Structure 1
Amino acid sequence: MTEPPAESLLFDVVPLPTPVERLLHLADQYIQHNDALDLLLLTTDPPAHAASAQRLATDTRSAIKAIHGERLYKSVELAETVMRLKQLAFLSGASADLSAAAARELTALAPEAAVSSAVTLAAEPPRRHRATAPAPDDHLNAVQRTALAQIACGHVVASSSLGREFTRSREPKVLMSTLRALEAKGLAERTARSARAAYIGGPPLDRVRLTSAGITALASAIEAMPNTGLKTRPRPRPSTTQATTRSR
């Protein structure tokens, strides 16, 4: 059998994720972990979160290693980003030995912290990972890019009532029309009944998550415009019920 030319094999190599993409994927992993803990708290089954917590700690340390591999300038912002990620790794590992309720508190802000770290990292020179990052999707407007960031932080869920669909999100609100547009582009998807209910005794909500293409699109937008002002910084949860946005 004739072996294919060595040059042809180059086109089959899948590029490694950039550090920014790694952090956005890590945020999604924390979202899934936290959602699983929320649902676990409603059952009487024994805690089963230890393996997930340890895996998150390992993946967070891998993300830190990838950042070091970029050999970026040692700025204060970069040092704080690495420190924040080290704290996430420690908290994730420590949560494996705690009850589900206590473990949930330790990783509550992890998705926002991972996304915030991605935004900070993208602004650090030199950004060698930009050379391999895909070009930003020119068909995404500012509202859609902000929605992607909100989804990445774990701020968006969906539900339906009386035949109508709704989104629940923090400010800036993510409208159902925006979510549908992102779904049509293959950038977002819903995981049915995977997020905690909006009220005690209510049905689980559908978690809105980024697809692999959505992570790539958001990473590309962040790396191309690191100072876009995307609202990704962690902030205290409001005491009132999250706002509900009707579909438009």
Structure 2
Amino acid sequence: MTASPEPDHAPMFDVDVPAPLTLVERLLALANLYTEHNDRIDLLFSGRATADPDTYVSSARRLEREALACVKAVRQQRLPPVEPVPSAVVRLKQTAYLTSGATRYLASAQQALPPDDAGAARLDRRRGFGQYVRLARELTALAPATVIESVRHIADRLPAKAHARATVPGIDRTQRDTLLAVARGHVIVTGQYENDRHDRTVPVDTDVLRHLDAQGLVTRDAASAPPFYAGGLPRDRVRLTSLGLSVLSTAIVAPLSAGPPPARPVPGPAATATATARARR
């Protein structure tokens, strides 16, 4: 009796299935999605992206669904109703509702898009297509920072399984704060992590950014952020990698060292001699 043949769909090798995001990782990823959405609209107004209303509507609807799903996931944790947790959940709900309004504005922009290729008419912020897109952009402007502030309060009350289990030895408070600034969508760079002096984002130490990049925690998304001035070139948005999401989800509430202590000044020869003379008296 011959053995039955293997089914055609049988795997020839083991397939690594990515593990689902923990709740904290999911909230951090949501903030990044909002930053990407806002950057895409800003590039449109800077003339560096095409006016494709379908793309913006789809993006806003995805954000709305994910924000509501995150609120539901937080509620399922049955956290104690002790401040600041309830207020953080309310802010997440407000973010989802504002995103719903942004979706409606972008849907209206679809109807207002002129049939011709009159770019100036489409990008007029005061009327028609441009006005609807501007209003939608205003509703999601604070979403990344709001999500991060909310997750900082919520994460402290979540069980350990809701955090990631990946850590990087030696991460200190400065590195953690830099990861938080990246998560908020506050870090834009030009070149190889060179600070743009005219940048209105939060200043961060470029040496810290390089260190985090070398560890695989952050990456530069080339030409994904709007230029600083009209007619300028797009800049690079710094984003968290998958590992960065995982590490920050743990470090966001973990006690961290403040970094290496500052070096104490070495007394000069004269000061040393004076101190020695006093000690002999």
Return the index of the structure with the highest Cα Rg: 2
Q: Shorter-chain TM-score: what band? A: 0.7 to 0.9
SS in 1 for 2:169: coil
- Is the Cα contact below 8 Å between 1:197 and 1:204 reproduced in 2? yes
State the match for 2:165 in structure 1: 134
Q: Which residue type is aligned with residue 194 of structure 2?
A: E
State the match for 1:148 in structure 2: 179
- 2:231 maps to which of 201, 207, 232: 201
State the match for 2:67 in structure 1: 60
Unaligned runs of 5+ in 1: 3-11, 229-248
Q: Which residue type is aligned with residue 215 of structure 1?
A: L
SS in 2 for 1:60: helix
State the match for 2:195 in structure 1: 166
Unaligned runs of 5+ in 2: 7-15, 106-131, 259-281
**Does structure 1 residue 107 correspond to structure 2 residue 140?**
yes
Query: Which runs of structure 2 are paired with 1:16-27 in the superposition (5 Å)?
Result: 16-27=20-31
Query: Which runs of structure 2 are paired with 1:77-96 in the superposition (5 Å)?
Result: 77-96=84-103
- Please give the per-residue CA displacement for 1:5-64, whole angstroms capped at 9, x wherever unaligned: xxxxxxx77554222211101000000000001012234625341111011000001111
Q: Which residue type is aligned with residue 179 of structure 2?
A: L
- In 1, Cα distance between equivalents of 2:18 and 2:40: 31
The alignment of Structure 1 onto Structure 2 pairs a total of residues equal to 213
SS in 2 for 1:70: coil
By how many angstroms is 1:133 displaced?
A: 3.0
Q: CA RMSD in A?
A: 2.5
State the match for 1:29 in structure 2: 33
By how many angstroms is 1:76 displaced?
A: 3.0
Query: Which runs of structure 2 are paired with 1:175-190 in the superposition (5 Å)?
Result: 175-190=205-220
- In 1, Cα distance between equivalents of 2:243 and 2:166: 12
- In 1, Cα distance between equivalents of 2:181 and 2:137: 20
